[in-house]
A and B are shown apart, each in its own frame.
Chain A
Amino acid sequence: MQVTKGVTCPFCGVTCDDLEIHVEDGQIREVKNACVLGRDTFLHHLKGLATPRIDGKPASVDACIDAAADILARARYPLIYGLDSTELHAQRKAIELADLIGANIDHTSSICHAPSLQAVQTVGLPTCTMGEVKNRADLVIFWGCNPAEAHPRHATRFSVTPKGMFTPQGRKDRTIIHVDVRKTPSTRMADAFIQIKPHSDYEIFSVLTALVKGHDLDLSEVGGVPMEEWRRLVSLMKDADYGILHWGMGLTMTRGKYLNIVAALRLCQELHRFTKFQGAPLRGHGNVVGMAQVLTWQTGFPFAVNLSRGYPRFNPGEFSVADLLARGEVDAALVIGADAVGNVPKQAAEHIKSIPLICVDPKESETTRVAKIVIPAAQAAVAAAGVAYRMDHIPLPMKKVVDSPYPSDREILDRIIAGVSARRPELVRRMRPAASAGA
């Protein structure tokens, strides 16, 4: 029995790094410290595995990589997508490949928390690490998010029950408020639940900001909630020693999109006149933040980047995955560790099914089912090591706990880059003119 401690979980953005994994005969037998989602990620790592194939017929991994390079070398307006479930070095390789072939590159954030990224570009982000939440926050607001189901250990590690430096009594030292359009299992963690009408978030944040500024408004209710309740919430926020607003896709996916989060962050900023009040999105995949980090430090932009002119351009709505596909613009796609077909609107899914589609994934999905080329990969953080960024931008090492017969995402991308470079040497010269001249 091989026991590995301090293992990082790749499932959600809490990216717990205290798991203990027991492996026997190449199979994970026991997972300690994980939530049910993390435990099943590791225990079922051999279920539903993808197989290498071209046009539905079994093929070697080498042949698949070669065929993928062939498609991407000839593509005129390709898309590289997925990437939030893999590790940082593979993400860097995907950006290198996008730069080489002049691709659009986008990741699953695009249809998840991208509006949060746009809001941060618009008004900035008053934020903190989850360590600070644990040690300092005495008022925690969960707005349009459901951590009890999507981030099960967030509450016990950081935001609800743990004892911290200035929260020595743990749960007793915190007031927890849940705001949502429906009750969820997260409601049970809260001292108070405020049920609002769908699509009323922007209006509510605007009213709360006005109340914080001292304006009294002649309204009886906002978002289906009496003004008295909002006034009580504003008092709680102003009186807190350290507040944190956590939001989820209840804000990003509803009417207003990034403007909802702009309004939420402006509220947090306004509250800083009275106390410390931070904002932090609850992020989905284990390394979703890593992709935005590496894409930003390499291109200047966090998602929806187009490299077809040889320099990065950023335009959500134009270079974002749902729009590129729904308009039928891309002529080939490489999807890494994501189920594009299963996760985009139907019209977008129809287009990606109609073009040469390469899917790199440890497991079968609706995307592998229709892909022209399927390249199975060693799953990051299970069978491939690397780096992940936790949802509060803290880098953590991902360990390898079992072997896989297949290469890692990083190696597959490296070999595709080599294959494209061999077929299109002029692309390499365009990227590295000085190096080519020297050689």
Chain B
Amino acid sequence: MGRTFILITGRSTPQGRTIHLGKDAKEYVDVVSALEMNEADMAGLGLGDGDAVRLASRHGHAVLRCKKGNLPPGLVFAAYGAFVNALIGPDTQGTGMPDSKGIEIEVEKHAGH
């Protein structure tokens, strides 16, 4: 059973560096497919570093790998990229800007790998 979290997407230094290697480069894909979580939240979902997690929002779903991060409980972080874009809806409330931060998502351990 999954739990509800708030997803923040954003830049990170590893993302900014590896993007120059190309978007197909393993180093870049590793960075943008990682989900940072609070340690206690990971334990609560029975997750360990590197486990696959399924994220679902009202707009789509994605499978990422989780890792321990310096985050408050209930908040998760992923670097901008095609993986998390699947979770972002197209509504901009007339501003042009999609809701790219503060997205409500369900996180659960992914059955496959």
Point out residues on A near B: beta carbons under 8 Å: 11, 36-37, 40-41, 43-45, 47-48, 106, 110-111, 114-115, 118, 146, 149-150, 152, 181-183, 185, 195, 198-199, 249-250, 252-255, 257-258, 284, 303-304, 316-317, 320-323, 325-326, 339, 341-349, 363-366
Query: Which residues of B in the span 92-107 have a Cβ within 8 Å of any Cβ on A?
Result: 92-102
- B22: which of A47, A110, A198, A250 is its contact (CB, 8 Å)? A47
Does residue B3 face the partner (Cβ distance < 8 Å to A)?
Answer: no
Verify A249–B85 contact, CB threshold 8 A: no
Contacts of A364 in B (CB 8 A): 22-24
Verify A346–B88 contact, CB threshold 8 A: yes
Query: Which residues of B in the span 62-113 have a Cβ within 8 Å of any Cβ on A?
Result: 70-72, 75, 77, 80-82, 85-86, 88-102
Does residue B4 face the partner (Cβ distance < 8 Å to A)?
Answer: no
Given known contacts A37-B16, A37-B17, A345-B98, A183 and B60 CB-to-CB distance under 8 angstroms: no
Verify A254–B101 contact, CB threshold 8 A: yes
Task: Return the CB mask of B10-40 against A: 1 if under 8 Å, else 0.
Answer: 1111001100111111000000000000000
Report how far A364 CA is from B24 CA in the complex, Å.
Answer: 8
Query: What distance in Å separates the Cβ of B88 from its nearest Cβ neighbour in chain A?
Result: 4
Verify A149–B11 contact, CB threshold 8 A: yes
Write the chain A residue with the least CB distance to B101: A253
Contacts of A365 in B (CB 8 A): 23
Verify B12–A257 contact, CB threshold 8 A: no
Given known contacts A48-B25, A345-B59, A321 and B96 CB-to-CB distance under 8 angstroms: yes
Report how far A366 CA is from B19 CA in the complex, Å.
Answer: 12
Verify A366–B23 contact, CB threshold 8 A: yes
Interface bracket on B: 35 or more
Query: What distance in Å separates the Cβ of A303 from its nearest Cβ neighbour in chain B?
Result: 7
Verify B80–A343 contact, CB threshold 8 A: yes
Query: What distance in Å separates the Cβ of A314 from its nearest Cβ neighbour in chain B?
Result: 11
Query: What distance in Å separates the Cβ of A254 from its nearest Cβ neighbour in chain B?
Result: 5
Given known contacts A150-B11, A344-B85, A348-B90, A198 and B75 CB-to-CB distance under 8 angstroms: yes
Verify B90–A48 contact, CB threshold 8 A: no
Contacts of B10 in A (CB 8 A): 146, 249
Query: What distance in Å separates the Cβ of A152 from its nearest Cβ neighbour in chain B?
Result: 7
Verify A36–B80 contact, CB threshold 8 A: no
A–B complex contacts, Cβ < 8 Å, 21 sampled: A37-B16, A41-B20, A111-B98, A114-B95, A183-B71, A249-B101, A253-B101, A257-B93, A258-B95, A303-B96, A317-B93, A317-B95, A323-B96, A326-B91, A342-B81, A342-B82, A342-B85, A345-B98, A346-B60, A364-B23, A366-B23
